[in-house]
Structure 1
Amino acid sequence: MSSDHEEERDEIRENDQNIPPKNNLVSVKYIGLFSLAVFLYDLSEVYYKKVFPTIENRLVFNGQQIHWVASFVLLTTIIFSFVKQKTKVLGVCCASLAIGNIIIVLPFFIFGLSFSKDDKFSEEERKICHPNDEVNKISCKEDVVGELKGKISFSFLLISRIFISFGQGGLLPLGLSHFYENSKNGWNYLFIGIVICWKTIGSVLAKYLVILLKKLPETLVGE
């Protein structure tokens, strides 16, 4: 009889060892970090979608350079799909999103490429120079300084998009899957609700920032 009891105890111990620990404190720390990452995710995505067409139009960009940016976005997303260490990836995602958000606005403040509604510009200065455009025949002089600014700004854009892509590529898929693997105790629904709230806040705040920042182009301020 004693041997039977010992075998049952051994089986119970083995089963207990196979059950992953459910530490709510660890889950709370994780949800805080993940909420911050999701907030930065939406903040950068909304801002980037509004700024990118303006950068493409006002700077010296061509279709080939834009395709390079898109290729880097796809490449970094594929790389993150093979990563298994989800908690470490989440920290890298937060750092990448933060760095990308900072880099993407540098050309506007360094070169003064944008203008607000209060600034006075002539109609010719507001127009965009398209050398191959036969419809809008605008006389544009070749400006070496302008081309240099365009190349430098494109470098900022490319680098920032790489950082943002690293952050976005593994954020939501790996983060949400980590919930279901480590929060089986009923807390996952609360955590997902908190994440959705932060995601909504990030999206709304990004739209207000686009309106309030003085250095943004007139097309983004809403005219």
Structure 2
Amino acid sequence: MQNKIALWALLFLALALLVLPYTNLLQSSLSKTPSGITRDMAQKFVEDDARTAYSEDAIATVSAVTQSGDQWKAEAEIELQPHSACPKLIRRHYSLMPILFVEERIVSTCEPRKPIGHRVEAIIAYAAQAPAGSYFCGFKAPVSAQEADSYCGAIDSAALTSFTQAVQGATWIVAWKYGSGTTLVALDDYANALATQ
């Protein structure tokens, strides 16, 4: 009886050793579309394409990449001249394999729009109040120091986060640097200034 149990255990072990190496292969093939593109590959392609499509100072952000049948769908937002008084916003809708995209111009003029839906609109809404040639940054409140440092290194992130926490009801924060001075303005969704520092 013990020999039979040992034999079955040995057979089970041999079978496990034969099957285990193929489980990773099976899992990786499940995350690919029939075209052989993985989600990570699609994400990287869209990030690279959106980042290099325009000038060096453009900021590209990729939203969720989803599978649709045998294709990947993704959306990227590209901010052009992001720290100017008149930044632009483009949204690209990608479809991968074959590689296609449709470009949609979300913000293409310097006219303020209400309600504010994106940081470029917050910058445009208040840029006329700043001196020409200022360096602008716009944030959705609340602002984290990490976000401030990565997007807008020219502005003191500690002062920015402390200002954001002190103002009640602010939805957007616009910061601009001109010379050695920095100005912070808290706005609501309709570009009403709630506080200035």
> TM exceeds 0.5?
no
Task: Give the structure with the higher percent strand.
Answer: 2
Q: Which has the higher contact order (CA 8 A, sep 6+)?
A: 1
TM-score by length of 2: 0.28
